[in-house]
Structure 1
Amino acid sequence: MQDYEDATAFLGHWGRFQQQVFFLICVSILTNGLGGFFIVFVADTPAHHCLIPDVNLTVDWYRAVIPIEVVDGKQELSRCSRYRLDVVRNLSAQGFLPGRDVNLTDLEQESCVDGWSYSKDIYQSTLVSEFDLVCSEQWKKPFTSTLLFFGILSGSLISGTISDRFGRKPVLFMTMGVQAIFTLAAIFSRSWVVFVILFFLNGLGQVSNFVSAFVLGSEILTGKVRVLLSLGITLSFAVGYMFLPLFAYFLRDWTSLMLVVSLPGFLYLPLWWFIPESPRWLLSQGRADEAEAILRKAAKKNKVEAPQTIFDGVHFLRFTMITGYAGLSLNTSQLHTDPYISCFISAAVEVPAAISSWLALQYLPRRLAVICIMVLGGASLYSIQLVPQDLSSLSMTLEMVGKFGVTAGLSLMYVYTAELYPTALRNTATGMCSAVSRVGSCISPFILELSVYSKYLPQIVLGTLCFLAVFATIFLPESFGQPLPQTIQQMQKRER
């Protein structure tokens, strides 16, 4: 087969056609950034304590019925227990005063049999307060995030094969629709079980949309513009991500936030008539006439003349990166007392990460770029445990440097993976790598729970994964400065 890039050189690299494809693909990613981590707010845990029903208690006993506990050196109301209400009611009726007539530590405690009272200082409602995902049910909160990531894993496995069979464009729009429809449907959940099922289905479209858009753009665009696409897509995700805390700040209940997150997916439907199918994929399917038709339309947009005849007829590495990325992103609500500021900072870090990865893709060999950026991320995460507790701002800075590293590394890997596989397998291979990596995102919510045993254990685990990624990179072939392989034979000739 004639080399695709030689055959399409008449189009140039940055005409009106390429600009349209570049812009529309980047726009389609905005919804991923907006919806990728709304679980940070939707499933955040408000301050809470046992609900005290309307019973006859004096003011002193009403204030004292919830035990005081010491958590991280601070006194706070117990979240999961109260003094036995029948005993407290009798003591109150007899005129005894807590702390003076009665030693509170001698009183028997009971669980929150009447439910919980949730603070509305930050949120009007969250998934946690809606379905009481606290105390004995607390495990359901990280499991909710895990099911989303498991949906993303499943979607990555399925969508790659479907895309290589039926085309990049149908899968791109199908997955955008899946995100929008099931995010909207989850609003009407009347139980946690229904919510997590719909949340899982929402996950089927999340990264599948991202991968399909990236592969479609990579196959249409050529030269340095293909590398520029990595920057554009990553920045679009970051912009959508930065809008998330803004919307969450003004929409303090979880249903309103999810409604706003779901709407952009429906607004993108008209893009179907403006985003073309991948001519490379059409050629790999023997549909040269359709590929030529797309390229001739592109030639008209670029105001160039097409020739009469155009055509002659990495898994573990991604796993470690996505585990670190998901874990650090989900941990944003713990970085600052204001979760909206935390989320914005976490999103804003992705902008310099995107620019850095783009510069690295332009000028550095792929293996060297990945090794350098992951060493930076791992070293930063390891260093957090050395910071004194009174320097919380430094700890936050180091964690954000760690996120900068894994975000930039992940952005590099999307380009790197696409460069390693031939056209006939590119979306399947990229989807498979993404699926394997999503196993990491599935376990990341529980990695954060390791802080119960040691405050810095999650950062140590994530930092270790960064260094394991460095080791894995050594065994990958180099693709810097080489054209995209069109056949398996060309892929096998990659220099190691």
Structure 2
Amino acid sequence: MRDYDEVIAFLGEWGPFQRLIFFLLSASIIPNGFNGMSVVFLAGTPEHRCRVPAAANLSGAWRNHSIPLRLQDGRQVPHSCRRYRLALLTNFSALGLAPGRDVDLEQLEQESCLDGWEFSQDVYLSTIVTEWNLVCEEDWKAPLTTSLFFVGVLLGSFVSGQLSDRFGRKSILFATMAVQTGFSFLQVFSVSWEMFTVLFIIVGMGQISNYVVAFILGTEILGKSVRIIFSTLGVCTFFALGYMLLPLFAYFLREWRALLLALSAPGLLCAPLWWFIPESPRWLISQRRFREAEEIIQKAAKMNHIAAPAVIFDPVELQELTTLKQEKVFILDLFRTWNIATITIMSLLLWMLTSVGYFALSLSTPNLHGDAYLNTFLSALIEVPAYITAWLLLRALPRRYVIAGVLSVGGGVLLLIQLVPADYHMVSTGLALLGKFGVTSAFSMLYVFTAELYPTLARNTAVGVASTASRVGSVVAPYFVYLGAYNRILPYILMGSLTVLIGILTLFFPESFGMTLPETFEQMQKVKGFTSRKKKGDSKEKEENPKVLITAF
């Protein structure tokens, strides 16, 4: 059968039909930017200290000195989780003793925050941390909430890729968008941390899953010249747009329930897109549903004001395809030969470690010096030039070299942060944003690179499995941020080292630049960067399915 791109070449590359698909699929990604990073504000931890109840009958002096001081970033600050024992302070106050003069505070017995905490409202009016006191002995729950969200994304990525290969791109796209919006709305009514977290897992299952399906759907409908710009300046930039709007919403809605409600509402606007976004003709052809595929192509031609051929698919070709046994693809097929398994394993590592850097840098922005809302906006804004850079590089340069390059630059500047003096906050912030620039550029390229390596029948499964590996990285990422509470440099050393390491590994991938999208696993084995070698004495069967070895060049 002729190549699909050759069959539909008469449609053109950038007619009204392609523009409609481009912008509608891209717009459907905006809610992902909201939900994907909303935990930055929903689970924000404001400054806090132990509550000293009015019933303690302390004098003003003893009330002011009821919280011990601790050293943090070179300065003395009130302790967040300890206070002096109130029974002692009450006795000292009744006796008229003065703190520091008559009583040595350093020798006083301390106790935990038995009466709860007082939370600063300078940044947040309320978060799930202040609602359910997720601090001190319970502070592990906040990063766990984020990790469990990404566990949901992991599960969704694992399932949605296979479902869309079986039941179609369009139906799974809208199903996952409905899950994301509906359960995000239900979170508003959470009555406990446990309920919030369980619902958050389900939101995660629908979150990046529909991002992956939208990407695959656009990749298969749009032509080769538009495919790269869709994958970078399309879905990625619209994700960044939603991400940039997040701190704007959070700035004006500083109570977490109101913020979550506002972030859930835009998902309802995606429902009417069902009547405008078609199924992937490529997928329909792979399912032998040729009439439906032709109808979509005929409608596209009509929208582009182009006269379609009377016969789009040659009857002889269709007869050939219908007599062939339809191939069913499972995850194990991604490991069916030695060289396909090698590509898959390297892809999993690439996605996972890149994801660690991206999400750890994104989630740590409120912890940078300065305003949390501005830092988050800058972290989102830096993604736009990162995507533009990715698009420009992918247009003209080999995939593996540009991905390795931006990862090495991003990881390298993160390693430089340890050399910056503690007082040079702006320099550290700038280097962190530059590192985010490099990792983000690479992350956006991975979708294109992986989709170009795998055949149509397994493309969404492959991207879904790779995306699942990236979610393993995102599950780990919140704990990189958590390490920053103990050593502000350690997270950047770890992220920088891993990013440089995976950049080097990328050089050993096969190259897909300039290649036609493969339709079968056999075509995948002919991707640039591979050579076939047959041993003497091979059977006829082995000659038809030669073992493929990696050759890096």
Query: After TM superposition, is the score higher than 0.5?
Result: yes
Confirm or deny: 8 A CA contact 1:419 1:479 kept in the other structure: yes
1:389 and 1:129 map into 2 onto residues whose CA distance is 29
Deviation at 1:63, TM superposition (A): 1.1
Match of 1:37 in 2: 37
Say if 2:479 is the partner of 1:446: yes
Say if 2:354 is the partner of 1:326: no
**Residue 284 of structure 1: which of 273, 279, 286 is its match?**
286
Deviation at 1:331, TM superposition (A): 0.6
Match of 2:457 in 1: 424
Alignment of structure 1 residues 3-42 onto 2, 5 Å: 3-42=3-42
Moved more, 98-107 or 228-237: 98-107
Deviation at 1:311, TM superposition (A): 1.5
Give the alignment's Cα RMSD to 1 decimal.
1.1
Match of 2:498 in 1: 465
Match of 1:89 in 2: 90
Deviation at 1:94, TM superposition (A): 2.3
Match of 1:341 in 2: 374
Alignment of structure 1 residues 91-240 onto 2, 5 Å: 91-230=92-231, 231-240=233-242
Deviation at 1:223, TM superposition (A): 2.0
Deviation at 1:386, TM superposition (A): 1.3
Deviation at 1:494, TM superposition (A): 0.8
1:267 and 1:384 map into 2 onto residues whose CA distance is 42
Deviation at 1:454, TM superposition (A): 3.5
Deviation at 1:328, TM superposition (A): 0.3
2:121 and 2:431 map into 1 onto residues whose CA distance is 31
Match of 2:431 in 1: 398
Deviation at 1:3, TM superposition (A): 1.1
Give the letter aligned to residue 299 of structure 1.
Answer: A
Give the alignment's TM-score, normalised by structure 1: 0.98
Say if 2:355 is the partner of 1:353: no
Give the letter aligned to residue 128 of structure 1.
Answer: V
Deviation at 1:453, TM superposition (A): 4.9
Moved more, 25-34 or 445-454: 445-454
**Residue 276 of structure 2: which of 274, 277, 296 is its match?**
274
Moved more, 153-162 or 463-472: 463-472
Confirm or deny: 8 A CA contact 2:152 2:203 kept in the other structure: yes
Say if 2:510 is the partner of 1:477: yes
Aligned sequence identity (%): 52
1:216 and 1:347 map into 2 onto residues whose CA distance is 25
Give the letter aligned to residue 207 of structure 2.
Answer: Q
**Residue 307 of structure 2: which of 302, 305, 309 is its match?**
305
1:162 and 1:33 map into 2 onto residues whose CA distance is 23
Give the alignment's TM-score, normalised by structure 2: 0.88
Give the letter aligned to residue 4 of structure 1.
Answer: Y
Confirm or deny: 8 A CA contact 2:515 2:528 kept in the other structure: no
Q: What do the CA deviations read for 1:169-206 (whole angstroms, capped 9, x no partner)? A: 11111111111111111111111111111111111011
Confirm or deny: 8 A CA contact 1:320 1:468 kept in the other structure: no
1:70 and 1:326 map into 2 onto residues whose CA distance is 29
2:485 and 2:497 map into 1 onto residues whose CA distance is 19
Structure showing greater relative contact order (alpha-carbon pairs closer than 8 Å, 6 or more residues apart): 1
Q: What do the CA deviations read for 1:107-138 (whole angstroms, capped 9, x no partner)? A: 21111111111111111101110111100001
Alignment of structure 1 residues 60-99 onto 2, 5 Å: 60-99=61-100
1:189 and 1:27 map into 2 onto residues whose CA distance is 29
1:460 and 1:67 map into 2 onto residues whose CA distance is 32
Deviation at 1:70, TM superposition (A): 1.8
Match of 1:257 in 2: 259
Give the SS at the match of 1:2: coil
Moved more, 91-100 or 293-302: 91-100
2:36 and 2:119 map into 1 onto residues whose CA distance is 26
2:207 and 2:420 map into 1 onto residues whose CA distance is 36
Give the SS at the match of 2:54: coil
Confirm or deny: 8 A CA contact 2:33 2:243 kept in the other structure: yes
Deviation at 1:452, TM superposition (A): 4.6
1:178 and 1:205 map into 2 onto residues whose CA distance is 5
2:140 and 2:255 map into 1 onto residues whose CA distance is 22
Give the SS at the match of 1:82: strand
Give the SS at the match of 1:69: strand
Deviation at 1:474, TM superposition (A): 2.2
2:477 and 2:360 map into 1 onto residues whose CA distance is 5
Q: What do the CA deviations read for 1:300-354 (whole angstroms, capped 9, x no partner)? A: 0000011111123121111111110000000100123210010011000000000
Give the SS at the match of 1:268: helix
1:101 and 1:32 map into 2 onto residues whose CA distance is 59
Match of 1:387 in 2: 420
2:38 and 2:378 map into 1 onto residues whose CA distance is 15
2:380 and 2:235 map into 1 onto residues whose CA distance is 14
Deviation at 1:373, TM superposition (A): 0.8
1:52 and 1:454 map into 2 onto residues whose CA distance is 30
Moved more, 450-459 or 173-182: 450-459
